[in-house]
Amino acid sequence: MINYEIRYEFKYADVSDIDKLMMFIDKNWQTGHILSINRELFEYEFLKENGDVNFLMAIDREKGTIEGVIGFLETAYNQNNTDIWTSIWKVRDGNMLFLGAELQRRLENKEGIRYVMGIGDNPKTSARILKKKFGRNIIKLKHYYILSNCEQFYIAKIVYRDKIYNKRKLDKKIFEINSIEQLTSIIDFNNCYDVVPLKNCEYYEKRFFRHPIYNYKIYAIEDNDCIGAFFVIRIQKYIDRKVLRVVDYFGDEKLIEDMGIWLKEKIDNEEFEYADFFCYGFEHDYFVNGGFSLLKEHDENIIPDYFSPFEQRNIDILCDYPNVDVRICKADGDQDRPN
């Protein structure tokens, strides 16, 4: 067994380590990466109120340098247990074998963590390690979309349109949620502990109401005088065109059908090219009934995901998770982050 303790000190970061972490990201992950140049966003993502920073570091005992890191994002705040999404995971060349896996192993043993998951895995590196060494399920998010009635597409590339069979009118009330107080008055997050990943009201407040760059909107779906679900959207613009991106969904998945009907009306009335939603763990038929199409392997249609910079191509988003039922959405982890 490799004794990593001889060479490395394993330490969870605090506020005094932020500059060094940002420099490590710039030099070893990606030069000019937003987390290496935008301290406000870095602190929003990783800095906790008590001064702790959600990074585990491997520090060379002799040189005092950071040799490897793994960042993580909590899915629930101010409670005993949370699930986490791993984020930046990098080891510098020339270090001990499997140091990255050792960082992952130590993170999984951290007190107060229920499940560790990853999103945006590299199929050639991290996905293979996580499957082989940690027994993870590796899946690809499904990419659903609804096209508007516009004749020419500039963001998307549309070769064909699926036939939509369900054309009923919206019969549910859908309205915007303007504050976390309004959201918590209609949704009881205390009864959601069995959902994976676990998300509480503090998570939704920070993730969507207090994001420093993106402007998110939350909409509730009322069903039989009760709030059955809510979803989160973000407008993405490119030159003089725009699309509507669904990034989170919470509640009764049957109401995805009504969300789709509402989205179709909105993108037609407000001149969006399309609406889309990356997700996993939801019943496919509800999307079909809501007028969504599913992007297929090697699809002729292109529904882009990269906008900074813009790339007109389809992409795969891989995730890893343990042997539990999950519902994964685009905004989980760091997949809906500015670049």
Residue 93 belongs to a domain: yes
CA distance 144 to 101: 33
Residues 297 and 157 both lie in one domain: yes
pLDDT given for residue 164 in this prediction: 84
- State both tokens at 107: 């993170």
Residues 241 and 290 both lie in one domain: yes
Report the DSSP pairing between strands 82-91 and 66-74.
antiparallel
Residues 207 and 272 both lie in one domain: yes
Instruction: Name the domain boundary from 140, 160, 194.
Output: 140
- Digitized pLDDT (tens) for each residue of the chain, 339 residues in all: 789 999 999 999 999 999 999 999 999 999 999 999 999 999 999 999 999 999 999 999 999 999 999 999 999 987 788 999 999 999 999 999 999 999 999 999 999 999 999 999 999 999 999 999 999 999 999 999 999 999 999 999 999 999 887 778 899 999 999 999 999 999 988 877 788 999 999 999 999 999 999 999 999 999 888 999 999 999 999 999 999 999 999 999 999 999 999 999 999 999 999 999 999 999 999 999 999 999 999 999 999 999 989 999 999 999 999 999 999 999 999 999 998
Instruction: Name the domain boundary from 80, 114, 140.
Output: 140
Among 335, 279, 334, 323, CA closest to 71: 334
For the four alpha carbons of 202, 205, 207 and 213, in that order, the dihedral sign comes to negative
pLDDT given for residue 16 in this prediction: 98
The reply to whether omega before 338 is within 30° of 0 (cis) is no
Residue 335 belongs to a domain: no
Q: What domain range includes position 32?
A: 4-140
Residues 59 and 125 both lie in one domain: yes
CA distance 132 to 183: 41
Element (H, E) at 237: strand 226-238
Instruction: Name the domain boundary from 140, 175, 192.
Output: 140
Residues 164 and 307 both lie in one domain: yes
CA distance 107 to 72: 9
Question: Structure pTM?
Answer: 0.95
Identify the CATH number of the domain in which residue 76 sits.
3.40.630.30
- Residues near 327 by beta carbon (within 8 Å), at least 6 away in sequence: 195, 196, 197, 249, 279, 280, 281, 282
pLDDT given for residue 200 in this prediction: 93
Report the DSSP pairing between strands 113-119 and 82-91.
parallel
Residues 129 and 166 both lie in one domain: no
